[in-house]
Amino acid sequence: MNTSTRSTARTVGVAVRAMALFTVLFGLGYTAVLTVVGQLALPAQANGSLLTDSEGAPVGSSLIGQGFTDADGVPLPHYFQSRPSAAGDGYDAGASSGSNLGPENDDLIAAIAERRDQVAAFNGVAPDDVPADAVTASSSGLDPHISPAYAEIQIERVAAERGIPVAELRALVGEHTDGPQLGYLGDATVNVLELNVALDQR
């Protein structure tokens, strides 16, 4: 074996050993350390921020919106409703997207007008009282939040359906309302799934 061949074999051997070492360190070790730290420090977030029903069965993630409708897509009146979704057939986590329609698009304008009338009739309010997030989808189609204004126009409907005093339900909505991030970034929001799970667990 000449010098060149030995040098090449030594170089390949070093490369193979280095690849094996770094695969173990960063492919397995680093992943294992992050998994352990995540489970110990932030177990809810590490497991997808899952919410469970009263029997402990997962009902969804607080990070991903979902619809509260029957099998035919009709909104269930005893639940707070989410904002519209353009993700797949609606809240499809595998097809996150917006409608990509511009604000002057005729189809979007017509859809918003139709949704406004439907939301107003469903909640027994005037069309002018329907907030923007009740009739427009988010850019991801998976926004789990609605505005306090949209929650407010739904309170009387849900209270009547569930036989809950309006004041008590308004207080529950307040408990599930988060202020702007860091106190000044964005607007206050209501997590719809968290609120509906709390309603079911009353």
Q: List, edge to edge, every strand of the sheet that includes 189-191.
A: 145-146, 189-191, 177-178
pLDDT at residue 42, as a whole number: 63
**Cα separation, 48 vs 34, whole angstroms:** 15
SS (H, E, C) the chain: CCHHHHHHHHHHHHHHHHHHHHHHHHHHHHHHHHHHHHHHHCHHHHCCCEEECCCCCEEEECCCCCCCECCCCCECCCCCCCCCCCCCCCCCCCCCCCCCCCCCCHHHHHHHHHHHHHHHHHHCCCHHHCCHHHCCCCCCCCCCEECHHHHHHHHHHHHHHHCCCHHHHHHHHHHCEECCECCCECCCEEEHHHHHHHHHCC
Q: What residue segments make up the domains of the chain, in order of their start?
A: 3-44, 49-200
Which stretches of the chain score pLDDT less than 70?
1-2, 38, 42-48
Among left, alpha and beta (phi > 0; psi -120 to 50; other), residue 131 is: beta
pLDDT at residue 54, as a whole number: 73
pLDDT at residue 30, as a whole number: 79
Strand 58-61 versus strand 50-52 pairing type: antiparallel
C-beta atoms surrounding 111 within 10 Å: 18
Tens-digit pLDDT profile for residues 153-196:
999 999 999 999 999 999 999 999 988 888 788 889 999 999 99
Burial class of residue 100 in the structure, from the number of CB atoms within 10 Å of its CB (0-12 exposed, 13-18 middle, 19+ buried): exposed
